[in-house]
A and B are shown apart, each in its own frame.
Chain A
Amino acid sequence: MGKILAVIKREYLQVVRTKGFIIGTLLGPILMALIIMIPILSSLIAVPEQETIGVVDSTQDIYQELDKKLDFKMKDGRRRYLLKEFEAQARVDDLRNALRQKVLDKELSAFLFIPENVGSGGKAEYVSEHVSDFSEIRSIQEALSGVVIGKRLKKEGLEPQKIAQYIERVDLKTIKLTKKGEEEEDTGGTFLISYLLVLILYMTLFFYGAIIMRSVIEEKNSRVVEVILSSLRPFQLMIGKIFGVAAVGFTQYSIWALFGLAASRYSKPLISSFVPAAEFTLPSIPAYIFVYFVVFFILGYFLYGTIYAAVGSLVNSEKEAQQLLMPVSLSLVVPMLMMAFILRSPSSSFSVILSLIPFFAPVLMLMRICILLPPFLQIAGSVVLLSLTILFMIWLTSKIYRVGILMYGKRPNIKEVVRWMRYK
């Protein structure tokens, strides 16, 4: 036991001191914060400019009302859109050319051409150097449509204000029903965070697995492994290594969790101090999701960590490992690819079976738990299956590992590896 502890300690200190670990640990939350903050901050930083839009109103009837409708104010109280009317001329092409020139000269940011037949299906034209700002185009389109529709209604003798009331849209409020009968409002944020958790689980399984594998390869390549084995058993070395990297993972997750807690506590006042009027709610996640996240991360870590250790013992370099890692990566990637399907029907028998397969379970079961809490029996079943698989993999790997770490040179084929298991 003392020997295993020594291996754990060495492994832990070696990884924790690397630049990669420090950068990854600090950069992770910063990156995550940026992803969440950027939309909020960008609305702060990107102050819209006042735009002057030339309007050619061939109907002679729309401009006044359009000007009234497009009365959006910016923060400083000025109008967002300043309209400037140009009289329709008989020679339309000359006017267009003149307006084009004004846009190119930045005198106007755009011009709007309203044809005479706009009330009966004619298309209005919006000409600008930038036509990719959807919100801007939509406001102009909506304002123009509003005016034209109003005209049409009046022509038919109807009251536009009344009609607007009649056809008001109904909003849908989404409510999630859980087994406990509680109804909670399901905001998009909850789903987003759940998705983020699955993604983090998936990425860290890859990441920590690779650390274990790299460490095994380093010991093989530097030939230090024989010195180590003159003091302890191969199994002790392997288990120490896996637990050492697990301690690394624990450290990293703890730091991330602290960042997360700090963020959930302080980010709202912080953002509010920048944007007093900012309206947003921080997504909340039920505690059981975190509990299951920890459970499935630990199980997934030991399953994949063991496999990565076996792969490391079989090869001489990371490059050589790539080929062997294909099936391993695949069994991690496949669940991510199944996500769209699972999202649509989380309780279909196909989803249930997939999420019970031990190699997929860490990612898929967690995904299902996030979407719609499955029956406890299914979760327990996958935990039991996973645990049994882990025990089997540890047994199998220890048989391969003890021979593999002393084999230098040619990478063994499957037949040889199977024969290794029979060695005493």
Chain B
Amino acid sequence: MNALEIESISKRFDSFYAVKSLSFLIPQGTVYGLLGPNGAGKTTTIRMIMNIIIPDEGNIKVLDQSMDEEMKSRIGYLPEDRGLYPKMKVGELLLFLAGIKGLKGEKAKQEIEFWLERFDLIDWKEKKVEELSRGMQQKIQFIVTVVHQPELFILDEPFAGLDPVNTKLLKDIMLEMKEKGRTIIFSTHRMEQVEMICDNICLINKAEKVLEGNLSQIKKQHGKNTVLLEYEGQASFIKSIPGIEKIDDYGKFMEIKLKEKADPQHLLSELVGRIKINKYEIREPTLNAIFIEKVGENDGKDLSSH
């Protein structure tokens, strides 16, 4: 069964296409990465899935049914623009937000207690939202997303602003949900997170899909001609070594894309003795590199400045 089926949806604002005939499927129980540069149309797509805005064309099926208002209570949505009522008490706020998702009464109170305990926020239940730190508000926001036990999650940059401890907590909960057969749509700019978490991805650029599919298959398709190098020393000479197509240098880490016929062993021999090599790995490209390549194809100028 598919948790989500999107069939050539389009949304136009005046003459500007925010999303243009976009289609993808998300199998149930998987984590799906919805990727793309800023302004690509991710938020519009998510809002259409949530029935917050209505597509001009196309169909959306959620959990095997046409998307409608009833369905909203089966989805947990964490928007990129976080927001809570600053003047409300944490407990009341959660009760209200769970209530409009259809979770009410004693059951709602129990769930709220459970999640507040789990996020170590139970002492803050009677405090106003504005008294909480940003990190705590983030956690409250996540509770809002999970408290009504949705079958489909839409998480837009869920880790933004979280410290490593809470990032781990959140990631563990995401995995837990996946194991329970829930489906997660995960939108982020952090490609290393996508690589670690997602099963399938869809990359959108300028309102249109540029890449979709199973993550490991996509990476395989991009060939085994990438070298990941961890090093110490002055490495700017590498650029002049023949057989190199592209370099992405981070100072201590470098992703090198070789030309089709180039030999990674040859490159290694060139490096030995000139820099200290801590790690030399021949593999498929990182998602980061694929992202830059795909988006850059359409929008080279924009990317060089980012």
A6 at the interface (CB under 8 A from B): yes
Q: What mask results when residues 10 to 21 of chain A are scored 1 for a CB within 8 Å of chain B, else 0?
A: 100010000000
A162 at the interface (CB under 8 A from B): no
The residues of A that contact B87 with a CB separation of less than 8 Å are: 14
Quick check: A230 and B50 within 8 Å, CB to CB? yes
Quick check: B100 and A228 within 8 Å, CB to CB? yes
A280 at the interface (CB under 8 A from B): no
Quick check: B72 and A230 within 8 Å, CB to CB? yes
A218 at the interface (CB under 8 A from B): yes
Q: Which of B31-75 contact A (CB under 8 A)?
A: 47, 50, 52-56, 69, 72-73, 75
Quick check: B86 and A6 within 8 Å, CB to CB? no
The residues of B that contact A419 with a CB separation of less than 8 Å are: 14
Quick check: A231 and B97 within 8 Å, CB to CB? yes
The residues of A that contact B101 with a CB separation of less than 8 Å are: 231
Quick check: B100 and A7 within 8 Å, CB to CB? yes
Q: Which of B113-165 contact A (CB under 8 A)?
A: 141, 144
Min CB–CB distance A219 → chain B (angstroms): 8
Q: Which of B76-91 contact A (CB under 8 A)?
A: 77, 79, 81-88
Quick check: B100 and A6 within 8 Å, CB to CB? yes
B24 at the interface (CB under 8 A from A): no
Partner of A223, one of B52, B54, B72, B83: B83
B250 at the interface (CB under 8 A from A): no
Quick check: A227 and B97 within 8 Å, CB to CB? yes
A226 at the interface (CB under 8 A from B): yes
Quick check: B86 and A222 within 8 Å, CB to CB? yes
Quick check: A230 and B83 within 8 Å, CB to CB? no
The residues of A that contact B144 with a CB separation of less than 8 Å are: 227
Q: Which of B1-49 contact A (CB under 8 A)?
A: 13-14, 47
Q: Which of A379-424 contact B (CB under 8 A)?
A: 406, 408, 419, 423-424
Whole-angstrom CA separation of A346 from B97 in the bound complex: 51
Partner of B96, one of A6, A222, A223, A229: A6
Q: What mask results when residues 126 to 144 of chain A are scored 1 for a CB within 8 Å of chain B, else 0?
A: 0000000000000000000
Given contacts A222-B83, A224-B83, A227-B144, contact A232 B52 (CB under 8 A): no
Whole-angstrom CA separation of A222 from B82 in the bound complex: 8
The residues of A that contact B53 with a CB separation of less than 8 Å are: 406, 423
Min CB–CB distance A404 → chain B (angstroms): 13
The residues of B that contact A229 with a CB separation of less than 8 Å are: 50, 52
Quick check: B81 and A223 within 8 Å, CB to CB? yes
Min CB–CB distance A13 → chain B (angstroms): 8
Whole-angstrom CA separation of A228 from B52 in the bound complex: 10
The residues of B that contact A218 with a CB separation of less than 8 Å are: 85-86
Whole-angstrom CA separation of A369 from B179 in the bound complex: 70
Quick check: B77 and A227 within 8 Å, CB to CB? yes
Min CB–CB distance A199 → chain B (angstroms): 31
Min CB–CB distance B85 → chain A (angstroms): 6
A225 at the interface (CB under 8 A from B): yes
Whole-angstrom CA separation of A76 from B97 in the bound complex: 70
Chain A: which residue is nearest B78 at the CB level?
Answer: A227
Quick check: A224 and B100 within 8 Å, CB to CB? no
Min CB–CB distance A20 → chain B (angstroms): 12
Whole-angstrom CA separation of A423 from B52 in the bound complex: 12
Whole-angstrom CA separation of A301 from B14 in the bound complex: 34
The residues of A that contact B54 with a CB separation of less than 8 Å are: 424
B300 at the interface (CB under 8 A from A): no
Quick check: B75 and A230 within 8 Å, CB to CB? yes
Partner of A226, one of B75, B79, B86: B79
Whole-angstrom CA separation of A14 from B77 in the bound complex: 24
Whole-angstrom CA separation of A228 from B144 in the bound complex: 10
Q: Which of B226-264 contact A (CB under 8 A)?
A: none
Quick check: A224 and B85 within 8 Å, CB to CB? yes
The residues of B that contact A228 with a CB separation of less than 8 Å are: 97, 100
Chain B: which residue is nearest A408 at the CB level?
Answer: B81
Quick check: A227 and B83 within 8 Å, CB to CB? yes
The residues of B that contact A225 with a CB separation of less than 8 Å are: 83
B99 at the interface (CB under 8 A from A): yes
A3 at the interface (CB under 8 A from B): yes
Min CB–CB distance B45 → chain A (angstroms): 14
Given contacts A222-B86, A231-B101, A232-B100, contact A424 B56 (CB under 8 A): yes
Quick check: B72 and A231 within 8 Å, CB to CB? yes
Whole-angstrom CA separation of A406 from B48 in the bound complex: 13
Sampled A-B contacts (26; CB under 8 Å): A2-B102, A6-B100, A10-B88, A14-B87, A222-B84, A222-B86, A223-B79, A223-B81, A223-B83, A224-B83, A226-B79, A226-B83, A227-B77, A227-B79, A229-B52, A230-B50, A230-B75, A230-B79, A231-B97, A231-B101, A232-B100, A233-B69, A406-B53, A408-B81, A423-B13, A424-B55
10 smallest beta-carbon distances between A and B, as pairs = A223-B83, A224-B83, A230-B77, A231-B100, A223-B81, A226-B79, A229-B52, A6-B99, A222-B83, A424-B54
Given A223-B82, A226-B81, A231-B100, 8 more pairs with CB closer than 8 A: A6-B100, A222-B85, A223-B81, A228-B100, A230-B50, A231-B72, A423-B13, A424-B55
Residues of A within 8 A of B (CB): 2-3, 6-7, 10, 14, 218-219, 222-233, 406, 408, 419, 423-424
